[in-house]
Amino acid sequence: SSIHTLLKQLPKCEHHIHLEGALSPQLLFQLAEKNTITLPQDDEAFKTPESLLERYERFTSLDDFLGYYYIGMSALITASDFEALAWDYFQHASADGVHHAEVFFDPQAHTSRNVAYPTVIQGFQAACERAEKELGITTILTACYLRHLPPAESLEMFQSPEVQESYRNGTVKGIGLDSSEMNFPPHLFEDLYRGAKELGLRRTAHAGEEGPVSYISSALTILNAERIDHGIQLAQDDVLLKQIADQGTLLTVCPLSNVVLRCVKSVSEVPIRKFLDHGVKFSLNSDDPAYFGGHILDNYCAVHDAFELSVSEWESVCRAGIEGSWCSEERKTEML
């Protein structure tokens, strides 16, 4: 329909996409074979790419998904594997009308299986450069730290010479916090976020996806996060909601992810209307497109089907996304 044409044409920014979550079952099987990585034999889901995709329709929680997510990325070994993965994502993003993409990756999930950090960076950086040159998409790489691992390990990673070099030379511009949320409150990572702020890095954190709304406030006050990833539990606290609206903090909302991981029963339960009515700024994002059944435009369409935003509301959603991006003011002006 014409609204879907409009949604495709709007200048979209994506702020919440884990590159490892863009690994399609097809590419996963192809890389596993090339790299002679054995996939779990005791799980029927790993028989074929098709059976794996079917299993992805039956996630029961964030942790159920994360089990598959960490196995999937075990197929990624060489710089060219990481480049192929990110390039696959950027092509989808371009087809969906993304102008600017701020992409997450999980360094600890690779170094812990002896894939060197510079290998990961080399592959992702090559794909980012190609996306800028061939697709006109500007990009920012953000390194997420895994909250299910001891905070001391995240600090060790952050302080390692290779990681420091990638921050110093501008290859990686931000930090995030992801993986299992429940029982891993933000305050555990206070030292990490203080270090990031001192280096002048941008800061975001997953909060209020499965976890309580108190994790959103502590991500803001203790971690000094500039943005909140997901943040849908904000609808439970009208005082904090008003504060976030007044501050103009951007939430990076991922509606299809929330349904597939059973944080909500349907897209209509994502508090989009409440956020709009109260002036809470948000962007719409795919999170892990290969696992959650859709890329960014599918998320836009699902929100439209559930909430029927007006054209001017859609334009203001995209404007908030541009203004809340971490690119230069000059680039923002180009997109507006």
- Contact between residue 20 and residue 222 where contact means Cβ atoms under 8 Å apart: no
209 binds, among Zn ion, ligand HPA, none (CB under 5 to 8 A by kind): ligand HPA
- Tell the smallest beta-carbon distance from residue 158 to Zn ion (Å): 19
Residue 253 DSSP code: E
* Binding residues for ligand HPA restricted to 64-83, rule: CB under 6 A: 69
* Binding residues for Zn ion restricted to 272-291, rule: CB under 5 A: 287
Residue type at position 269? E
Single residue of 81, 83, 102, 288 touching ligand HPA by CB under 6 A: 288
172-178, strands of its sheet edge to edge:
12-14, 98-105, 138-146, 172-178, 202-207, 227-230, 250-253, 282-284
- Contact between residue 49 and residue 26 where contact means Cβ atoms under 8 Å apart: yes
- Tell the smallest beta-carbon distance from residue 336 to Zn ion (Å): 26
CA angle 96, 99, 101 (to 5 degrees): 90
How far is residue 274's CA from residue 105's CA, in Å, rounded to a whole number? 30
Please state the length of the chain: 336
Single residue of 139, 166, 257, 286 touching ligand HPA by CB under 6 A: 257
203 binds, among Zn ion, ligand HPA, none (CB under 5 to 8 A by kind): none
Residue type at position 181? E
Of 46 and 291, the one with the shorter C-beta distance to Zn ion is: 291
Tell me which residue of 1, 41, 54, 57 sits closest to 262, measured CA to CA: 57
14 part of the active site: no
Residue 227 makes contact with ligand HPA by CB under 6 A: no
54, 209, 226, 323: the catalytic one is 209
Residue 252 makes contact with ligand HPA by CB under 6 A: no
Binding mask 12-51 for ligand HPA (x = CB under 6 A): ------x--x------------------------------
Classify residue 75 as exposed, middle or buried by CB count within 10 Å of its CB (0-12, 13-18, 19+): buried
How far is residue 86's CA from residue 27's CA, in Å, rounded to a whole number? 11
102 binds, among ligand HPA, Zn ion, none (CB under 5 to 8 A by kind): none
Residue 304 labeled ligand binder: no
Structure tokens at 284: 């719409």
Size of the site for ligand HPA (CB under 6 A): 11
Residue 287 labeled ligand binder: yes
- Tell the smallest beta-carbon distance from residue 257 to Zn ion (Å): 7
Q: Are strands 202-207 and 227-230 parallel, antiparallel or unpaired?
A: parallel
* Binding residues for ligand HPA restricted to 194-223, rule: CB under 6 A: 206, 209
- Contact between residue 75 and residue 67 where contact means Cβ atoms under 8 Å apart: no
Residues making up the annotated binding site for substrate are: 288
Query: Which residues have a catalytic role annotated?
Result: 209
What are the residues binding ligand HPA (CB under 6 A)?
18, 21, 62, 69, 178-179, 206, 209, 257, 287-288
Query: Which residue ranges are tagged as binding site for Zn(2+)?
Result: 16, 18, 206, 287
